[in-house]
Structure 1
């Protein structure tokens, strides 16, 4: 069922997940392992965030917007056929996620030690062979009632060397999914080419999907999903309708923050954290208000990783060989999740490039390798020390 544009701003609170997502908490606490010397190099306190205020620093974060003309999009749509929308994609879902009971020991080992995941699912090994998991986002980002139409949806990005980037559209009630290829218009505007880039950041806001790539931050219109036959087994394609180009600093990690007014797009790149305000113009749904950062900080949290912000709290993940870390940073200091009474802080997943907060349910979603999982944000806050 296609989402009606008028429902994007509707507030609905207190709904519990139904179906499979209403299951009881998983018994997924893994025993802490010996931490290698190489992992210990990430076990340091990044301290407080440093606000960035100089014009020179903020200029490097500025984005310029390039939208494809509507007539060009319509001409290209005629070539592929009429758009079918998200509902049709989910109705045709032809693959199945495994629940935690059917995940392998190695897949379960990708889960955080503490705090423990309350939901965990695993991707089919054959279906994802040669691919790397990347960013994810949910219908909890798209609309604050947590739904797209009547469905609850997770989008999971995957990429591989020389292969088309793709997104798994997951119907969370049935735990079934199908692939949608990402594409961008060619320079002459007469056709599409495959997007071939790692996708480490992705946010679905209102009717737009924003996706990081090597050469820009691409914008997709979720009403323009189209049927197409792909050699990679995907039966749908989603063409870009625009792109944001950077003036210097490239966003790598993305998430949505509904704790600001207006809602904002959160970005992470190198040692910088910043945000852009979303537009409140009804004619610019899902687009940014301007290309200027409304807030920016320097962080000493090392390396790439997931980013999440809710108001003044920033959550950052750091990868390591066996176990990673999850920090909560603010302008006053930093705290890390603890594994238990021994105060060990290397207890997060080995590698999570993306964090997504589903406000309606209070859950944070992420993935590591072939393992998709979620846990309540308040359990993360309780484990900080």
Structure 2
């Protein structure tokens, strides 16, 4: 358990205040009102056959949405973690809005990627107020520098995200140069860029966010004792997925490691307790340290996210390969089960294709998730891209 201990780091109030003074500070409502990308309901003509085929076979999706064309086909960024106002508050509302946050990371495996693009992390703020008419706006995640007089890109895989109260926690995957495992953002600090340029940070005439209109600066982080090891359950873990569990007291976040499909190494699933909402930082700490409350080990592979509800662990093996559906495992300390279905290459491969983060909308008990791929027909990052990205929900009771 000692390798799971996190050390809390806070960006000073002065730094955050200084940065706030350089750029307009807006709220979630402003971002949603400026949404400039439509999403297409699966019941409309806006989704392709390959996007619709990426939905789960069993259970069937309650709702599903496809992305605006440019995001449906881009190979530069890929969808990863997911959270919502259904995590943030038990009534599922942020003010008067229903919001879904979809995290996308730069595809560093794409040939020809520029070095200053690697690790870029952006979040789609999805206006989910009107079923069938979702829309979204991109927000770039950054870290303050120079005492708040500047900022730089956040390097993160965004494998997992949790919105809790007024804070957003995101995973750093394999960490950064300071071994950070989690970054923390505050919804009271969403800033508007004043210059539209390729650069990130201070430029002639103001501040730019790589062409994005809005940015969120990190207000803190949690680090491990050293760099993570993605192949050992006895070393520091690489945080991949992150979800929220409201069935514990206090509430908790649940992190998990990822092991590739076909691998034999076990992976850890480990929760941390959440403090009362509204505090400076979201995790329960003692002496500046956050301690995992449990440490579970699983031989399930390909787990991009693990959702826990009343001690049942839901995790999908997001199998590699064009058109491959995943296997959704229901795991307890007594064993694991999965659904069976027809129409897939494996009898229990019934879940969505290449699924990523999951989030339980508490007030509706709907589980939201999203799929990743816009690869070519061989599963590589070449053109032409085949759109297979879909945002969808299923009832928790059907899983």
TM range (shorter): 0.7 to 0.9
For residues 161-213 of structure 1, the C-alpha deviation after alignment (integer angstroms, 9 at most, x for no partner) is: 32531100011124111010000123655421011332110000000000112
Tell me the equivalent position of 2:83.
137
Give the Cα separation in 1 of the matches to 2:370 and 2:273.
26
Structure 1 counterpart of 2:33, from 64, 69, 91: 91
Cα deviation, residue 125, structure 1: 2.7
Tell me the equivalent position of 1:124.
68
Q: Secondary structure at the match of 2:391?
A: strand
How many matched pairs? 322
Q: Secondary structure at the match of 2:356?
A: coil
Give the Cα separation in 2 of the matches to 1:188 and 1:272.
37
Indicate conservation of the 8 Å contact 1:208/1:287, yes or no: no
Indicate conservation of the 8 Å contact 2:190/2:215, yes or no: yes
Cα deviation, residue 339, structure 1: 1.5
Q: Secondary structure at the match of 1:355?
A: strand
Tell me the equivalent position of 1:172.
128
Does 2:273 align with 1:309?
no
Give the Cα separation in 2 of the matches to 1:127 and 1:302.
28
Cα deviation, residue 341, structure 1: 11
Cα deviation, residue 227, structure 1: 0.7
Tell me the equivalent position of 1:23.
none
| Deviation larger for 190-199 or 95-104 | 190-199
Give the Cα separation in 2 of the matches to 1:171 and 1:341.
33
Indicate conservation of the 8 Å contact 2:256/2:270, yes or no: yes
Tell me which of the two structures has the higher relative contact order, counting C-alpha pairs closer than 8 angstroms and 6 or more residues apart.
1
Give the Cα separation in 1 of the matches to 2:65 and 2:277.
38
Indicate conservation of the 8 Å contact 2:220/2:281, yes or no: no
Structure 1 counterpart of 2:242, from 251, 254, 261: 254
Give the Cα separation in 2 of the matches to 1:257 and 1:337.
23
For residues 128-181 of structure 1, the C-alpha deviation after alignment (integer angstroms, 9 at most, x for no partner) is: 522101111000000000000011000001122325311000111241110100
How do residues 28-107 of structure 1 correspond to structure 2 at under 5 angstroms?
58-81=1-24, 83-100=25-42, 101=44, 102-107=46-51
Tell me the equivalent position of 2:101.
155
Q: Secondary structure at the match of 1:60?
A: helix
For residues 249-289 of structure 1, the C-alpha deviation after alignment (integer angstroms, 9 at most, x for no partner) is: 12210000000000000010140001000013753463444
How do residues 226-237 of structure 1 correspond to structure 2 at under 5 angstroms?
226-228=191-193, 229-230=195-196, 231=198, 232-237=210-215
Give the Cα separation in 1 of the matches to 2:57 and 2:394.
12
Cα gap change, 1:190 to 1:258, in 2 (>3 Å): same
Indicate conservation of the 8 Å contact 2:40/2:47, yes or no: yes
Give the Cα separation in 2 of the matches to 1:143 and 1:110.
30
For residues 27-84 of structure 1, the C-alpha deviation after alignment (integer angstroms, 9 at most, x for no partner) is: xxxxxxxxxxxxxxxxxxxxxxxxxxxxxxx011111110101111101111223x21
Indicate conservation of the 8 Å contact 1:179/1:234, yes or no: yes
Give the Cα separation in 2 of the matches to 1:188 and 1:77.
12
How do residues 344-359 of structure 1 correspond to structure 2 at under 5 angstroms?
344-359=347-362
Report the TM-score, using the length of structure 1 for normalisation: 0.79
Give the Cα separation in 2 of the matches to 1:144 and 1:276.
19
Tell me the equivalent position of 2:327.
325
Give the Cα separation in 2 of the matches to 1:209 and 1:110.
28
Cα deviation, residue 340, structure 1: 5.4
Indicate conservation of the 8 Å contact 2:105/2:158, yes or no: yes
Cα gap change, 1:341 to 1:194, in 2 (>3 Å): closer
Tell me the equivalent position of 2:156.
197
How do residues 333-352 of structure 1 correspond to structure 2 at under 5 angstroms?
333-339=335-341, 344-352=347-355
Indicate conservation of the 8 Å contact 1:207/1:285, yes or no: no
Tell me the equivalent position of 2:183.
218
Does 2:266 align with 1:275?
no
| Deviation larger for 254-263 or 229-238 | 229-238
Cα deviation, residue 88, structure 1: 0.9
Q: Secondary structure at the match of 1:374?
A: strand
For residues 283-327 of structure 1, the C-alpha deviation after alignment (integer angstroms, 9 at most, x for no partner) is: 346344451001111111013422100121111111112111110
Cα deviation, residue 87, structure 1: 1.0
Structure 1 counterpart of 2:142, from 173, 183, 191: 183
Give me the CA root mean square deviation.
1.9
Indicate conservation of the 8 Å contact 2:82/2:358, yes or no: yes
Any stretches of 5+ residues in structure 1 without a counterpart?
1-57, 381-385
